[in-house]
Structure 1
């Protein structure tokens, strides 16, 4: 591997390169994982925009947070995640850090606007949960997904499983049990017989991780069906999964991955959710 992170594959007598030659590591790559993936020019005058710098203006930050939270609900509505009154996304308020914003009760995700959001008191930073079809289908097995694809490396050493169903979550103890399943570092969790839960440093990250985990649960169900008919599945080994996760799990990369959806929502709705 060169200092730029490129890999040169060589083979003699027309034979394919060995498996060892294909291994990668982060040596020589930018320490900031976002710097490994963004596109721009070498002069640095064209650059990917990450989370804005609010220069200490907490009210400007609150406005931005609420706009992205409303967009996140619209995105869930597009994906068909609405199911009655079930599901929520919460994000901490920059002005009042002992409070959080969330969706109002019994309002469809697809119609939520900034002015509909409700201010409440938090115990976590940013979280997303709803009863998506593939997530709740895979959850009945009470087990994690396999690391089968590049996208699934988002969940390598980053996925808890709450191996219990204690009924609808009304008691504080059930919330504590879920928190224990997440542990001190995981940002995603499969809730047995229930669905998915994801966390994030931004609401954009939490929502992107949720849709990504939902997609991986769908893929896992399809893979298991094929495997049941005799096809052998090949799980990504730990070294390759760890290498990939070291970049794609970085919070700015997961934030950036939601921005195409955010911009599309602005275009599709003419910004109506910002009101």
Structure 2
């Protein structure tokens, strides 16, 4: 079981990242995007080259705290286990270390197995621009299913398929988003999940679908770009933290 830990030996920047990452786990659980003890969210450790934080394999998302997060390096070596008995999900290491190594500008990686995400991942058409939310993503990458992600050989193919995209559908598997901050990666996942839910519901109606004209889709995506109006995620994040604090602020411990 997790033991009490604190900020000893940590920079203020690392502790702040831990608090935000723990909050991200709680928010994913709050919005019902978690999957028992499975899936993973990682965040780069500020100022520590090649180190990132990830969840202890065995804790539910609603249990994650800033001090319980495990620090590992890009080769999977545990740097700080938070004083607990849990290890790291190997599939989580394979996926997240690949992205953090290939995309140094990415600070956070989120992976989910939601019913809507898995449903859209099984459709040949992938994500369609059926909703304004779906149009947030100009390009959604696709990665073919190769089985449980435990083979290091898959890392190269995974990051090649991801390219410079913010979102990727893992075929017959689930969803993945990345961001330059935890807040931006979470907002991207929240919108990607909502877009998948809306598409699954619309397709279940068994009636012809209406897609906006391509120029409208392109314009809408342009208006959603962080350089057009504002970086989405940063404005929302303080409100999301207040939501958690009203319910249970133990993620900060």
TM over 0.5: yes
* 107-116 vs 254-263, greater mean Cα deviation: 254-263
Task: Indicate the residue corresponding to 1:176 in structure 2.
Answer: 156
Distance 1:81 1:150, change over 3 A: closer
Are residues 1:74 and 2:50 paired? no
Larger radius of gyration: 1
Q: Distance in 2 between matches of 1:175 and 1:217?
A: 25
Task: Indicate the residue corresponding to 1:204 in structure 2.
Answer: 183
Deviation at 1:134, TM superposition (A): 0.7
Deviation at 1:81, TM superposition (A): 2.8
Per-residue CA shift, 1:114-143, capped at 9, x if unaligned? 010111124413210021111012111244
Are residues 1:255 and 2:234 paired? yes
Q: Distance in 1 between matches of 2:179 and 2:53?
A: 14
1:129-208 aligned at under 5 Å gives the runs: 129-157=111-139, 159-162=140-143, 164-183=144-163, 185-208=164-187
Are residues 1:59 and 2:11 paired? yes
Distance 1:70 1:120, change over 3 A: same
Q: Is the 8 A contact 2:37 2:61 kept in 1?
A: no
How many pairs align? 211
1:120 alignment partner, SS class: strand
Distance 1:257 1:233, change over 3 A: farther
Deviation at 1:147, TM superposition (A): 1.0
Q: Distance in 2 between matches of 1:268 and 1:60?
A: 25
Task: Indicate the residue corresponding to 1:224 in structure 2.
Answer: 203
Ranges in structure 2 where 5+ consecutive residues have no aligned partner? 1-9, 75-96, 101-105
Q: Distance in 2 between matches of 1:112 and 1:243?
A: 39
Q: Is the 8 A contact 2:186 2:233 kept in 1?
A: no
Per-residue CA shift, 1:32-68, capped at 9, x if unaligned? xxxxxxxxxxxxxxxxxxxxxxxxxx93322221111
Q: Distance in 2 between matches of 1:261 and 1:62?
A: 20
